[in-house]
Structures are given as C-alpha cells and as structure tokens.
Structure 1
Amino acid sequence: MTRTVLVPSSLARESRDKREATRKLGYVARAATIFRADRLVVYPDRSGERRWGGGFVRTVLAYAATPPYLRKEAWERRDELEYVGVLPPLRAVAQTGSGSDDSGSLRQGIVTEVGSDGRVRVNCGLQHPVSLPVPPEMAVEEGERVTIRVSSRRPLRARIVDVPPPGLAVEESELDTTLSRPDAGVRIAASRHGEELTVARLGELAPRVRDGFTVAFGAPERGLPEILGVDPPRIDPRDDTDAVTDGDSRSHTEPDAQTRFDLWLNTVPNQGSDVVRTEEAMFATLACLNLE
C-alpha cells in the first residue's frame, strides 16, 4: 500500500515573507507525516507561483522530512533554509520490522566514508558513525542515504538493508506522471467542487483506499480546477470509476479531469470559513482516508 500526496509548487504563494512560508510548509509536512504518507510530491504550477516557488517549496519540505540527526550532515547552508527553526517537529514514529529475520527498527543513515574492504562508515543518529558491511547486492557512495536496521543498541547490532529509506519521501514530478504510477491506487482530487463526503460515502471508499491512494491538493486562491484548466461547474462528482461501469453518459467532466482522477472529493462540506487553507484541507482529507 502506497499513500501519495500531491501539492503544487504555488503552495506558499500567499505568504508574506519567508518565515511565514516556511512555517506553512512545516504544517504540510506534518500533516503528511501524521497520516503516514509515503510520498509528498511537489507538482509544477508555475503560472500560480509568486515569490516562493517550486525550488523553495521542495527544499523546505525535504529538509523537514529529513530526520533531525541527519540534517547537519545532509544539508549545507542554503538561502531557502534561513527560517527552518520555525518548522514544527515531525516526530515520526520509528518503523519496526516483523518476524525473526526482520526484527528491529529502521533508520535512515548517510554514508560518510567508503572503505576498500567492503565496509562503510554511516551516520545514523547514534553516538558516532558506525562501520557496517555493505550487502553484496548493493553499491553505495559517499553521501548516499541508506537504510539501517538496528536490532540492538547495547551492544550495538545493526546492518544495512536493501530497502528504501524509511519515512516521508519528498519528490518533484509532473502531476500526470505521479498519477500514472502503477502504485497510484485510487486517484483523488481534493476540491470544494467535488462530491461532499458523507458517513455513508466514507464507508464505501474505505475498502478502496485501503490498498493505497494518491490525493492531489490545490493552492491558496487557486484550486485544482484552475490549476488544471477545468471548468468547475462541469465537474460531475458522481463520475468515479465505480459509478460509471456500463457506458453511462451522465458525466459532463472535462476529458482531462476524467482521465486524471477517479473521483473529486470535498472533505470539508458546509465549511464555516470562506477559505480552507491547503494544510487544513490536508488534515481533513487525510484523516478521513486514514479510517478503516
């Protein structure tokens, strides 16, 4: 099961300064972490960007998603990171293996030195870098992030494993590319123009999203219909892959919108504020999709 969250490069477009933009992005990363998203993908919305564009958004989100014990090693001083001190801590729960062969917790590490004896030194947040053998099927380079399975700390027992590093992965990609991934699961557009989520509808959706989903969000004052060039009145919230199975011609959805998403969903029906910020919509939407 893969959970992917898509946010636009114009995400911080209304922020007054870099500090405010950084804080906003911190809550976006926190929402993704709380609800165990696997990927947080920044898709381009260049016509909607203002001062704080895609490079800034991706850099701050990637920094926020980096475990605190690796940030000094992984990040040099960068202008985009001037106010990272205001980021809320993510405090991601450690990922734990199961079974006798895979017991122990997974941690991210950074290779600090590659030896000639098939061993490397890795900074993985312990008291000092540790020397570990590289699995025969792997080739690693200095500065590369690797996954460490720690089965004991006293005495230290750890090994490098050939699996993706645990935690939230921050990427930059075209929206259509991410939606077309084999592991995209149910493709959801979060929009106030979508179908209003009800208790009954949530019960129908729960089995579908259990195997994974990809959910896309818009930007402040610039929702998904505007970003995608879709006329909001023509989005038919009834038209998802389950509802139309026999050539039903009810849908008046724009063709691109129909092929991009399985459904358009409004997870904040009867909202009491004129504006629901992207990070607020993320909390509301992901909380619903997290239910089983």
Structure 2
Amino acid sequence: MPNEKVSMAQEKPQKKQTESKSWKDTNRIRKIERKKWKEERAIKKAEKAKLQEAAKEALQAAEHQKSQEKPRELSTMSLAVPGSILDNAQSAELRTYLAGQIARAACIFQVDEVVVYDDKNSSSTAKKSTIDDAQGTKVSRQCCVQLGRILQYLECPQYLRKHFFPIHNDLKFAGILNPLDAPHHLREQNNFKFREGVVTNKPVGNGKGSLVYVGLKADAHVDKILTPGLRCTVRLDPQPEGSKKLRGTVVTPSQPRLETGVYWGYNVRIANSLSQVFSQSPYKNGYDLTIGTSDKGDSIDTFESPSYKHALVVFGGLDGLESALEWDEVLKAEDPSLLFDSYLNTVPDQGSRTIRTEEAILVTMAALRSRLNPEEKPIAFEHSEEIAQSSVSTFPQKFTPQKSTDNNTTTNDLSRFD
C-alpha cells in the first residue's frame, strides 16, 4: 500500500506538467487561428469595399447616362366631345347617365385625355359655370361644365372623392352611374406599389416631407413638402417587417403606366370652342395625328394610320362638326375635313339616320383600335409573378394583403377595383 501511494504521488506532477503543456500549445494554436481569421476578415472587408465602390460608380454612371437620355414618353390618345350632347337628354337623370357613358367608353379604350368643347355660340346670355380642369379654372357653358365635372368625378378613386367633390347639383344623380372599375381605383386590400392620394394637413417636422392619404389605414410619409389638399401619385416603398409606418415617393401620374403598363385614368380639359381643342393642347408640339368623325367622311375601311405620339379623335354633336365650325370665330375653313389629318366615316352603310355621340365613341374606338400605330406603346400589364414581385411585398401586419389559398403567396389582385 505505501508503495502504491508513492507511485500515485509521482504520477500526479507528471499529469500537471502534461496539462500545462497542452494548454500552452492550445493557446498558441488559438492565437495563430485568430490571426488568420483577422487576415481573412480584412481581405473580405477590402473586397466588400471594392465591390461597394464599384457598385456606387456603376450607379453614378447609370444615373448620369439616364440624365443624358431623353425620358421616354408614351404615346397618348385624346377624345374631344361637345358638351351640348347633355342638352339633348330629356331629364336630369339621363343627362348624368349620358355623361357616365362617355366616361365608361374613355376608360374601356384607355383614353388619356377627354376634351369637352363648346360647339355653340357662348353668348353673354348663356348660363355659365366654373370648373377646375388640368389647366386651371375655366368658365364655360353649364352643359360643358357638368359633363366635365361628372367625368372628373368618375375618374377619381372612391376613397378620394369626398376630398375633391363636395355636394354639388351637377352630381345630384351620381349614384345611378356605373363605376369605371379602373385599375387605379384600389381597395384597401389591393396590393399594388402605386396609389393615388391626397396631401393631408397633419403636422410633420420641419423639412421632413408630408403625409399623404392613399386609402390605407396609415398615411404614407413622402419626402417632398406639398400643399395640403393636392392630389398626387405615390410609389409606396417596401415596408420592413414589423414596421407601422408607410413611406413612399411622389411620382408623375404617367409613371405607373410607364413602369407596369397598367392604365391610370384620364385627364379632363375644357375648351370653349373647337379651335381651342387644338390650340390649348397640353403637349408641347400639339397633336401629330388628328381624326374627325362624320357620316360625310371617308370610309374607315381605307384608313391606314401613320405612327404618332399624340392622337386626337374629335366627335360632333347633334348637328355634327359642321355646326361647331360654323360657330367658331377663329377657324376660317368652311369644310371641317380641312381641319384634320383624316376625316372618317366609322360606320359606312349605317342603318339609322343618325348615330348618337355616345354610340359613335364606342363604335369609332373599337374600329380604330387595331388600326392605330402609336410610336411608344405601354408594356403589357399581366397578372404574373413578375408584376407581383414588383409590388409592395411587405406591409405592416394590419395592412397585410389577402393571401391566395393555393400557394399562400401575396397576390397582386387588380381583377376588381370598385
């Protein structure tokens, strides 16, 4: 037994010496590994900095090239209709419904501008009214103003109408109108990266932008300082998960169609004569393709459309374009066909003696649709995964869009709007 204790006592120091040597080697190995890790980290950091610098330079080059390039401008389609067609309606309800038919036709054929012109003598005794259009405040005959106001009312998304259209006698029977069902008439559950909104007067820090109501439970915070009550188009930024704030950027009304191809409504312009339809065009070089419609025109079967940037189709009233030309004090031509690039009869061999203006719009636009040749067509809007990925992908929980039942992914539901 004593011998065993001695042997154990002799072994114990050797074990301590072994453990101490092992720890020293381990510490040395760790230092070597730490040094190697730091070197690798420094290399990765340098590579990352190089990549970031290259990406920054590429972005600056792309922005510079983009600034040098001429911005793309889509080809547009405009319609001109006389306000006097409302005077031919037998009741106030029918006047309103007739205006609704014009708005529906403009939306169906993706018209960008509707011009309401006065084809009668605007004498001082005629009943007149005022309206704000795309070019400012206009004074015109009551029938033109009412038609323009109803067209504006139907084009405006439902959640914004109370901000822009107070109770008005021209809109007394607006409840009988069919909705346009336009793509920009979004519901709260619709998930799309663009929305129409109105600038609120809610307080925001100095120089920190504005709050815009876009039809959601929270207002979108934009970086620009805008006048309260102004209507604007907002591109919503993707929201971080768990965030309760919406942020966006104010863009031009044409941007949604440029990026996605989706139709984004029409503008309304008031013209007090046929000549003002041409002279007050919102486009820099005016309309490069003008088409007049009449039963005295050439058959549409022989029409071949040239390429165009901005097209205009003009419709006459009860007495045709001849009456509008006769009342115009600026235009000196006696034949209305001289005013247009093409003067077309869109319903050759018609069975009725007359075709009403609301009918002529539908017939004419349907006949022209496959014949027109715009220079810059919008991209085709499709309900596809690619478009869905470009939409606002992540909302705060209380704004979460509806999920599809088959694949449980966020849908870009624009199939129904109203």
Partner of 1:162: 251
Q: Which runs of structure 2 are paired with 1:93-242 in the superposition (5 Å)?
A: 93-94=183-184, 105-113=193-201, 115=204, 116-134=206-224, 140-150=226-236, 152=238, 158-164=247-253, 166-173=264-271, 174-180=273-279, 181=281, 182-198=285-301, 201-202=302-303, 204-205=304-305, 207-208=306-307, 211-219=309-317, 221-229=318-326
1:101-153 per-residue CA deviation (whole Å, 9 max, x = no partner) reads xxx6433211122643332121222234333221xxxx521111111123558
1:153-178 deviation digits (Å, cap 9, x = unpaired):
89676523331364211111243233
CA distance in 2, matches of 1:90, 1:208: 29
- The superposition leaves residues 61-106 of structure 1 with CA deviations (integer Å, 9 ceiling, x where unpaired) of 11111111211121100111000011111111349xxxxxxxx643
Check 1:152–1:185 CA distance in 2 against 1; reply closer, same or farther (3 A cut): farther
Greater fraction strand? 1
Whole-angstrom distance in 2 between the partners of 1:151 and 1:15? 47
Between the aligned partners of 1:229 and 1:10, the Cα distance in structure 2 is: 15
Does 1:286 find its partner at 2:384?
Answer: no
| Secondary structure of residue in 2 paired with 1:229 | helix
Partners of 2:233 and 2:252 within 8 A in 1: yes
> Is 2:274–2:324's contact at 8 Å kept on the other side of the alignment?
no
The residue type equivalent to 1:159 in the other structure is G
Give the secondary-structure state (helix, strand or coil) at the position aligned to 1:93: coil
Aligned to 2:107, what secondary structure does the other structure show?
A: helix
Letter of the 2:109 partner, please give it.
F
Number of residue equivalences: 252
> In 1, are the aligned partners of 2:237 and 2:249 still within 8 Å (CA)?
no
Q: 1:263 aligns with which of 335, 342, 345?
A: 342
* 270-279 or 30-39, larger mean C-alpha shift: 270-279
Q: Residue 280 and residue 146 in structure 1: after superposition, are their counterparts in 2 closer, same or farther (change >3 A)?
A: same
Larger radius of gyration: 2
Instruction: Give the aligned residue type for 2:201.
Output: E
Matches within 5 A, 1:21-100: 21-47=95-121, 53-94=143-184
Give the AA of the match of 2:214: C
Is the counterpart of residue 20 in structure 1 residue 72 in structure 2?
Answer: no
Unaligned runs of 5+ in 1: 96-103, 231-252
Task: Structure 2: state its 5+ residue gaps.
Answer: 1-74, 128-140, 186-191, 255-263, 372-418
Secondary structure in structure 1 of the residue aligned to 2:84: coil
CA distance in 2, matches of 1:178, 1:8: 11
Which whole-Å CA distance do the structure 2 matches of 1:191 and 1:110 have between them? 41
CA distance in 2, matches of 1:154, 1:277: 54
TM-score by length of 2: 0.55
Paired residue secondary structure (2:200):
strand
CA apart distance, 1:256? 6.6
Deviations 1:240-266 (A, max 9, x none): xxxxxxxxxxxxx94673553112111
Q: Distance in 1 between matches of 2:346 and 2:157?
A: 31
